[in-house]
A = this chain, B = another copy of it.
């Protein structure tokens, strides 16, 4: 949950919990589909279980943050595949089918969908889990019921028609969790702060400035790491596998005392939870407003325009709750016909939910 605990203190659960939980749900899903007469062999069950257990293994600490600072341009799915391939070597090919499922190269397409689709075990687990630990009861989803409604139609996942209300609720819950939790404005503010800190640290390292970093972190501060480095430079992958919250925050605690005022100020702000003030708007912010805040900071701290930009900046977040372009949720009727939930729901306006919502944000340090 990255820095979400700064807003919802209960959200201390980890990716480990999520992986175990999603694996548990996968076991249920396999049982349900088998009980409805769909063949899933022992090997396939093991493979799809491995696939979901490892589906997030490519994530680093504060994953979203890292993608905007230290490892930009490298998707965590790609990293998951690289790591799975390493494990596959270690386990003498036992993960081959799991990797095929993960990459959607396996014939039974519905197995991939159980791992990655609009109704995968990943989403079913994290929505329930995050809702529970944040206390945002809005996100509660009838996981058990949705899994019991799973069906297969034309080699793809579908939902029995009597589960339609649960699916509507699932889509809405997911949308609400985005705005109430994942894209909560204070969470955005905290993440932006960590992004700026890491970017500044990187900038200083590249300028030849001496700066503390744990060994695993140092590699990512020093050079511009691109996708192929993970595959070709053994050190990079090893460092990435080792990198965790301890590296980031132990370094940050030391940077608080660094002589660079930008780095030390930003670091102490995060440690003392003095986050950016943040405003969300439907439209872009006026340049004059941003400029006023920048002037303010420059005057107060004697910063250059460039340095002040670490303290005042704008950006965009967006989310859409349901995207039928990419991957439909199909409702299966008793007569054997199938309809996309967006059409099947005569009451809920899925078309509204499918429209991406964009918001502009302005971050500025108030004091």
Task: Find residues 233-274 in chain A having any chain B CB closer than 8 Å to their own CB.
Answer: 242, 245-247, 249-251, 253-254, 257
Can you sample 11 A-B contacts with CB below 8 Å? A9-B17, A9-B20, A10-B17, A12-B12, A137-B142, A138-B142, A168-B176, A214-B250, A245-B246, A348-B352, A349-B349
Q: CB of A86 within 8 A of chain B?
A: no
Q: Which residue of B lies closest to A12 (CB)?
A: B12
Whether A165 pairs with B169 at a CB distance below 8 angstroms is: no
Check A16 against B20 for contact (C-beta < 8 Å): no
Q: Which residues of B contact A315 (CB under 8 A)?
A: none
Asked if residues B245 and A253 are in contact (CB atoms below 8 Å), the reply is no
Interface of chain A, main secondary structure = helix
Cβ of A179 under 8 Å from chain B: yes
Residue A284 interfacial (CB < 8 Å): no
Is A63's beta carbon under 8 Å from chain B?
A: no
Residues on the B chain within 8 Å of A166, using CB: 138
Give A176's nearest chain B residue, CB to CB: B165
- CA of A348 to CA of B353, assembled, Å: 7
A147→B346 CA distance, assembly (Å): 31
- Are B12 and A13 in contact, with the CB atoms below 8 A? yes
B242 and A246 contact, CB distance less than 8 A? no
From A180, which residue of chain B is reached at the shortest CB distance?
A: B165
Question: For the complex, what is the distance from the CA of A346 to the CA of B353, rounded to whole Å?
Answer: 11
Among B141, B253, B348, B357, contact of A242 (Cβ-Cβ < 8 Å): B253
Please give, as numbers and ranges, the residues of chain B lying within 8 Å of A16 by CB-CB distance.
9
A165 cross-chain contacts in B, Cβ below 8 A: 138, 176, 179-180
Q: A347's contact among B17, B175, B216, B247, by CB below 8 Å, is which?
A: B175
Of B138, B242, B250, which one neighbours A247 at CB under 8 angstroms? B250
Contacts of A175 in B (CB 8 A): 347
Give the complex CA separation of A230 and B160 in angstroms.
48
A172 to B242, CA, bound (A): 42
